[in-house]
């Protein structure tokens, strides 16, 4: 059978998909560009650039990327943030590579995302698997119970805890209790907060992981907020004992996406307007319920 090289199957399927009348309840959070700045939407191809002197570089940011990262850190109320262009996947791997050492024992929730597992494999750390609380009624796993974590610290000598905050189903464990345990056992708290970039922007939402004493928290900005796909952030605590996390961030070479991330994150989306948007979303959800 001959191949029809005039066809572009991926392009064709994308076009068919986006031209269909629909209400997108899936990520990315910008919902087909509805919450992206109109100029950026119009010029999306023009700003698809490599790292040029004017556009700064993720590997050693000195200009607009650095400025964006400082705005982001301020908006989330953390000492330091890094823009990530390969999703929370890249963030979790960066955390593993910079926070952990080969053979280091780490408490890890059994429902951890595969990017956490990939990071653990790459650095060669030793996971101590912890069973999350099982919800028999709904058939889903929730967060870790503090008693399970305390027992594991007592018996394994683990030096870090890696937890999901929230789970895939949007539930959270007792983060304050987990953070207390980490402090008591001198361990670092690492958080996969892929689904919680918005927690910091409304007081009715659960405790933001990045403000709970975590040494590192990763957020998928593209899932919930207005970043384009793969836009994510990594927040780190810069206390001396924790310094170094995230500074060996793996990233692609054409790292133009930070511009998109900056747009979706630091500016109109959250810092200035997050609480109002969250209230609006909750009102819509309540009306729909
Ligand atoms: C809990 C959790 N962590 C990490 C990831 C990876 O996120 P990303 O798609 O931003 O790489 C996901 C993706 O769904 C996830 O659900």
For residue 11 the two structure tokens come to 């392009």
Given a contact cutoff of 8 angstroms between Cβ atoms, the answer to whether 216 and 237 are in contact is: yes
Among 89, 108, 249, which residue has the most ligand 1 atoms within 8 Å of its CB, making it the best to mutate? 89
The C-alpha atoms of residue 227 and residue 222 are separated, in whole angstroms, by 4
CATH number of 38-282: 3.40.640.10
What is the rounded end-to-end Cα distance, in angstroms, of the chain?
Answer: 52
CB of residue 220 inside a 6 A radius of ligand 1: yes
User: Nearest CA to 206 among 264, 163, 236?
Assistant: 163
Q: At 268, is the pLDDT very low, low, confident or very high (cuts 50, 70, 90)?
A: very low
Contact 164, 149 (CB under 8 A): no
Give me the mean pLDDT over the 175-193 stretch: 97
**How many Å lie between the centroid of ligand 1 and the Cα of residue 54?**
31
Confidence band, pLDDT 50/70/90 cuts, at residue 267: low
**CB contact at 8 A, 242 and 215:** yes
Q: What pLDDT is recorded for position 247?
A: 58
Q: Parse the chain into domains and list their residue ranges.
A: 38-282
Does the Cβ of 196 fall within 6 Å of ligand 1? no
Ligand 1 mean position, distance from CA 222 (Å) = 10
Higher pLDDT, 196 or 54: 196
Residue 164 Cα: closest atom of ligand 1: 1
Mean pLDDT of 137-157: 97
- pLDDT(60) > 90: no
For residue 7, report the distance from its CA to the centre of ligand 1, in Å: 32
Q: Is the CB of 115 under 6 A from ligand 1?
A: yes
The whole model's pTM is what?
Answer: 0.91
Pocket test for ligand 1, best of 114, 220, 221 (most atoms within 8 A of CB): 220
Examine the pLDDT at 278 and tell me if it is beyond 90.
Answer: no
How many angstroms does the Cα of residue 285 sit away from the middle of ligand 1? 24
């Amino acid at each position: 059978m001959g191949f029809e090289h005039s066809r572009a199957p991926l392009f064709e399927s994308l076009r068919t998909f986006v031209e269909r009348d629909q209400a997108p309840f899936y990520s990315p959070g910008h919902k087909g560009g509805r919450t992206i700045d109109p100029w950026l939407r119009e010029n999306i191809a023009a700003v698809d650039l490599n790292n040029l002197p004017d556009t700064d570089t993720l590997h050693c940011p000195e200009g607009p990327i650095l400025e964006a990262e400082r705005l982001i850190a301020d908006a989330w109320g953390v000492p330091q943030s890094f823009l990530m262009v390969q999703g929370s996947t890249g963030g979790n791997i960066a955390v593993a590579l910079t926070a952990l050492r080969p053979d280091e024992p780490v408490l890890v929730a059994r429902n951890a995302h595969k990017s956490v597992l990939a990071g653990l494999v790459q650095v060669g750390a030793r996971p101590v698997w912890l069973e999350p609380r099982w919800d028999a009624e709904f058939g889903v796993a929730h967060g870790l119970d503090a008693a399970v974590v305390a027992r594991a610290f007592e018996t394994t000598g683990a030096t870090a805890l890696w937890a999901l905050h929230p789970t895939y189903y949007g539930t959270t464990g007792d983060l304050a209790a987990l953070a207390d345990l980490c402090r008591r056992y001198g361990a670092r708290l690492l958080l996969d907060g892929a689904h919680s970039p918005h927690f910091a922007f409304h007081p009715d939402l659960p405790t933001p992981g990045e403000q709970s004493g975590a040494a590192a928290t990763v957020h998928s900005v593209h899932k919930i907020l207005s970043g384009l796909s793969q836009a994510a952030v990594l927040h780190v605590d810069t206390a001396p004992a924790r310094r170094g996390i995230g500074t060996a961030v793996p990233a692609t070479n054409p790292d133009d996406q930070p511009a998109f991330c900056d747009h979706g994150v630091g500016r109109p989306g959250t810092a200035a307007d997050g609480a109002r948007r969250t209230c609006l979303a909750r009102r819509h959800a309540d009306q729909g319920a």
